[in-house]
Structures are given as structure tokens and as C-alpha cells.
Amino acid sequence: MPELPEIEVSRQRLDPKILDRPVQEVTVLDEGSLRDTDAEALNKGLVGAAFTGIARFGHFLLLETAGADGEPGVLLLGLSPSAAVEQVRPHEDPPRSTRLGLRFNDGGGLAVSDPRGQSWLTFIRDESTVPELGPFGPDALNGAIDPDQWQQALGGRRAQIKGVLLEPGLVAGLGPASADEILFQAGIRPDRKAAELSAEEAERLRAAVAPTLDKVVRCQAKPDQLPRTFLGRALAAGEAACPKCGGPLEKRQIQGRATRFCPACQH
């Protein structure tokens, strides 16, 4: 399932390929995926416009546009774990689960697909039209996580630390696999209560967030390219032994999700 690293890799790959290409046609295949907009407004905002940049925040992609009149806009995509944003070559059909399809003047295109239909999108002309997205902390990869606020946020929580990491109000964009890897690299059990972490442990965990995600992104989010000391590489290969100490990995249900960790390396 795509998580922040996969979305960031997609953003980097798309960026140079879809910029400065005017949109010729917009096809909305699932109007239920539209939020605070409709197909007519989407066509008005995108047809004739060209993408000028792609940004990411958490699991959101923001495709910045400039119309023929120079008026800016943003196509905001709220991506679910099953979603993908893919380039479509000329004369190539978009994926079956496409929710929104774009065709450029040169014949190529872009498809936003989601087999589960949980993603959504909107077109924004100004900040007053941004839909309610909820509270978010800094981006887990690129944001500046304040050490004092981090310590304070964890200190008041009796919930298990993995569950706390998945809350977007702490950091934006973490998914279950990313949280497991960060906890593994920090040497902290996922079932520990957040408030029980020492100041040193909490800081060690904070310091592991961005570098761990950055390494996954640099490896193109491919498990077999990750360092041998990464949990994700071992799990993808079907291994049951810890990639650091060689001991057996333990499996538990945390927040309703299967979680693997090393009881010897994570305390």
C-alpha cells in the first residue's frame, strides 16, 4: 500500500514529466471523489491550464497550475493508501480504477486511480476554498518537528506509541509500515505507552522520523534496495529474523494492524 515515501517518489517522478503541458480534456469518472467542487468547475479550472509544480504535504499532493490568463490554481488530491497518480502515454488507456483522467494537448495524460474509491480531489482558486482537512502537525519527511512540542505531545498520552505516531496531529503522513520502520530504527517497541518513554527515548524517536523516511525515498521506496538493517527489507523478503541481531521477530496486533518488531533490539 502506498505511504508517504511512495507518494513522494511518485511526486518526484511526475514533476518533470507533466509540467508546462496544457490540459486539453478533463474526464471525471467518479463524481463521488469530488469535494467542494463539481465537474464543471474542474473543467473550467484545468482545461487550457498547465501544471507549474507539484508539492506534497503528508498524503496530499498539490498540483499547481497556471491558466492561459496566468491565473493560478491548485488541484488538491487527498490520496488513500490504495491510490496512485500515474502518467498515461499517448494512445494508452488509463487504469480501470481511474477516478479522474486528464489529457494534455500533446496526447499524453495523467490518471488518478483508486480501486477502493477512498481518495478525493478538489480544485482551489484561493485559500478560502480549501476544504476542512483537520489538524496536522509538520510533514513527517520535510517538516521541522519541534523537540519541546514533541516531548509534550508524547508525555500526555497513555496510548501505544505506534498509534500515536499514526495521528496526523503529531506528524503528517505516517502510515503503519513507516511507523514500524521508524520505531525499529529508534529501538523502541511499538506497544510501549507514549507517556512512558523517557526524554532520551522520545528524542531518539523524533530524530529517527525524517532520516528513516528519507532513506526509503532515496531507495525509491523499493524494499529490496533498502539497507540490510531495515525491517521493511526483511519483511518484504519473507524473513522472520531481525535484520540487526538475527533473533526472532515478534508479531502483534496494534491499533487493529499486524505489527512486527524485534523484542531484543526494541525496548
Domain ranges of the chain: 4-129, 147-261
Q: What number is the average pLDDT over the span 32-50?
A: 93
Confidence of residue 130 (pLDDT cuts 50, 70, 90): confident
| 134 or 191, higher pLDDT | 191
Lowest average pLDDT, out of 5-19, 48-62, 65-79, 249-263, goes to 65-79
Give dist(CA 166, CA 60) in Å, integer: 15
CB 247 within 8 A of CB 264: yes
Q: What number is the average pLDDT over the span 67-83?
A: 88
Domains 4-129 and 147-261 share a fold: no
Lowest average pLDDT, out of 4-8, 38-42, 133-137, 162-166, goes to 133-137
Task: Return the C-alpha cell found at 261.
Answer: 518488531
Instruction: Of 184, 188, 164, give the one whose Cα is nearest residue 174.
Output: 164
What are the residues whose beta carbons fall under 8 Å from the beta carbon of 245, sequence distance 6 or more?
A: 262, 264, 265
User: What is the overall mean pLDDT for the chain?
Assistant: 94
What are the residues whose beta carbons fall under 8 Å from the beta carbon of 203, sequence distance 6 or more?
A: 147, 150, 151
The model's pTM is 0.92
User: Which 8-state DSSP code applies to residue 127?
Assistant: G
Q: What number is the average pLDDT over the span 28-34?
A: 94
Q: What number is the average pLDDT over the span 25-52?
A: 94
CATH number of 147-261: 1.10.8.50
Task: Return the C-alpha cell found at 136.
Answer: 496536522
- pLDDT reading at 127 higher than 70: no
- Name the H helices within the chain: 4-18, 39-46, 147-155, 161-165, 176-186, 199-218, 231-236
pLDDT per residue as tens digits for the range 219-243: 999 999 999 999 999 999 999 999 9
Superfamily of domain 4-129: MutM-like, N-terminal (3.20.190.10)
Give dist(CA 102, CA 27) in Å, integer: 6
pLDDT at 132: 78
The full length of the chain comes to: 267
